[in-house]
A and B are shown apart, each in its own frame.
Chain A
Amino acid sequence: KAGVTQTPRYLIKTRGQQVTLSCSPISGHRSVSWYQQTPGQGLQFLFEYFSETQRNKGNFPGRFSGRQFSNSRSEMNVSTLELGDSALYLCASSRSERKVTGELFFGEGSRLTVL
């Protein structure tokens, strides 16, 4: 059974550019959530999607956005990149329709460096 797949694994951008990250959840999982991990702030929740609808959003500026497609694949976009956006972006998928349960599995992450 394939796990959560994130692409690209590594990328380098410059300030002001935008970036799109992709996440393919485990087959059958309809919930996809995104987290940002930085040395200073640790792991922080970005947003969560279920059946193409954003159900929860963390405390991030509007430059951070996402979407989910009918096949449950998800993308997140960061516009007008800042140096502080350099981070590991992790995607997690879950089968659960309601509250978060033990079936929450993460991908290997996309490591973004902003120069």
Chain B
Amino acid sequence: AQKITQTQPGMFVQEKEAVTLDCTYDTSDQSYGLFWYKQPSSGEMIFLIYQGSYDEQNATEGRYSLNFQKARKSANLVISASQLGDSAMYFCAASGSARQLTFGSGTQLTVLP
């Protein structure tokens, strides 16, 4: 079984600044994956970034990077140079031996002009 905890229901960031969204996980699987998705008001879940549990380097995808600290069981998302279009709900999720994702409760990010 897996559990994802996102402790920030809402976050505000000034345009062009960086922001970190927190995610901690708990899993009994030895091999697992960690994901971040963005969900704008339209509802679509947009894949942002993925980190495998055995990947030694932190994943990066453009302005997104995943700060993976395995010993602390954390997988924080860092968005650099925030843009107004980054305003959305962000979900952290994990996969393991079962072919399914377990999601956190999400963080609503608002980028201020």
Contact = CB atoms under 8 A, between A and B. Distances in A.
Interface of A: 31, 33, 35, 42-43, 45, 48, 50, 55-56, 58, 88, 90, 92, 99-102, 104-109, 111
A45 B100 contact: yes
14 contacts: A42-B104, A42-B106, A45-B101, A48-B99, A50-B99, A56-B100, A88-B43, A90-B45, A99-B31, A100-B33, A104-B35, A104-B95, A109-B44, A109-B45
Contacts of B101: 33, 35, 43, 45, 92, 100, 104
A105 B47 contact: yes
A33 B99 contact: yes
Interface of B: 31, 33, 35, 37, 42-47, 49-50, 52, 91, 93, 95-106
Contacts of B47: 102, 104-106
B95 to A, nearest CB: 4
Residue among A48, A50, A104, A111 with max Cβ neighbours from chain B (10 Å): A104
A111 B43 contact: yes
B45 A42 contact: no
